[in-house]
Amino acid sequence: MINHLHVETHSFFGLKPGPNVLVLGRVHGNEYCGTLAINNVINLIQNQLVNITSGKVTFVPITNPLAAIKGTRNGDRNLNRAFYPKGSSKNDFEDELNGILSPILEECDVLLDLHSFLNGVKPFALIGNTAGDEKAIVVNQEKVYTSESHLVSALEVDTVIANWSETYARGVKNRRKRDGILSPPFSLNYDEKYGDGTTEYARSKGALAITLECGQHEDVSAPRVGVNAILNILGCLRMIEERYNPVADNRKISCISLFDVIDKISHGDKFTKNWKTFMKIEKNEIIGISEKGKEVIAPKDCFMVFPNQNAEPGQEWFYLGEQS
């Protein structure tokens, strides 16, 4: 039974010093794979099929219990937005959760947040940006240098998206300029801090943080992708005896760095095709046509990311990314 009056965590401490890893499942209540993957790994550890020899790993199988009870993405609101402690001004269930979860995120060295998606086929991951994110982690008195790009290479993904939060924040600033909203307080749509989710918050406190989209919501292989991700990251950080189910080291992972986000302006703005994430767009290709008949044209060869035909006017319609 899920209880939304508390949050349940499981921690395992290896006897030797090492990194502090946090794994979150079901930040979105309808994304079951994270919970299934975490419970599976807890089982492996409890049955000594995997042994944590150094460091600490904390699992949160159900990060948003209210959303999980409802079986929907959000409880009162999206937990993966405006993620920071709210002090005494708590307005909803997720604000209460922020107060409980923030200290756990603040103390971790590495965060793995497990999600699933509605539209799409293959698993993919999101990292911060690809430049200069290397971090020294002490494992067993030895410094191990790692980075989000390095950790992500241990996951079963062939595509990684970078630069989401910078692009989001730039989009919000453009939106303020466009709509003539000049000074705070800003409502959610005009507040770049609204874009801060679990990984952005953890990163702001010095952690390496990865969001793994394990597969489509109903995909039966998504929990396995999550299990392998947890074990491979623990292996990479030398917290378990051996790498479990390692993925081939010579795989080519393509990294798509976001560079622009375009808002939908009117209800009548239409895409020219049924765009899906990672579809290629050619320079000067017409991506969409506004209600007033203006063509929205690709500035260069790039990729479509997170197109949302149902976006509300004034909100993100699609992102553009390029290979990096």
Shortest reach from residue 283's CB to Zn ion, in Å: 32
Our CB check for Zn ion shows the closer of 56 and 115 to be 115
Which residues, at least 6 apart from 207, have a Cβ–Cβ distance to it below 8 Å? 22, 105, 108, 109, 110, 111
Beta carbon of residue 142, minimum distance to Zn ion (angstroms, whole number): 35
Euclidean distance between CA atoms 99 and 29, whole angstroms: 19
Instruction: Indicate which single residue of 56, 115, 238, 264 sits in contact with Zn ion (rule: CB under 5 A).
Output: 115
Q: Using CB under 5 A, which of the segments 13-21, 24-32, 153-161, 281-289 binds Zn ion?
A: 24-32
Site for Zn ion in 26-45 (CB under 5 A): 28, 31
| Closer residue to Zn ion in complex, CB, 12/164 | 164
For Zn ion, which stretch binds (CB under 5 A), given 32-40, 110-118, 119-127, 221-229? Answer: 110-118
State the Cα–Cα distance between residues 241 and 311, nearest whole angstrom. 47
Supply angle C-alpha 21, 27, 31, rounded to 5.
Answer: 115
User: Residue 23: enclosing H or E segment and its boundaries?
Assistant: strand 16-25
Least Å from the CB of residue 32 to Zn ion: 11
Nearest Cα residue to 216 out of 308, 305, 126, 118: 118
**Binding residues for Zn ion, total number by CB under 5 A:** 3
The helix, strand and coil proportions of the chain, stated in percent and rounded to the nearest 5, come to 25, 30, 45
Stretch that binds Zn ion, among 23-31, 83-91, 148-156, 165-173 (CB under 5 A): 23-31
Residue 228, C-beta contacts closer than 8 angstroms, at least 6 positions apart = 155, 156, 244, 245, 247
Q: C-beta of 29: minimal distance to Zn ion in Å?
A: 9
**Minimum distance of Zn ion from residue 133's CB (angstroms):** 22
* Contact residues for Zn ion, defined by CB under 5 A: 28, 31, 115
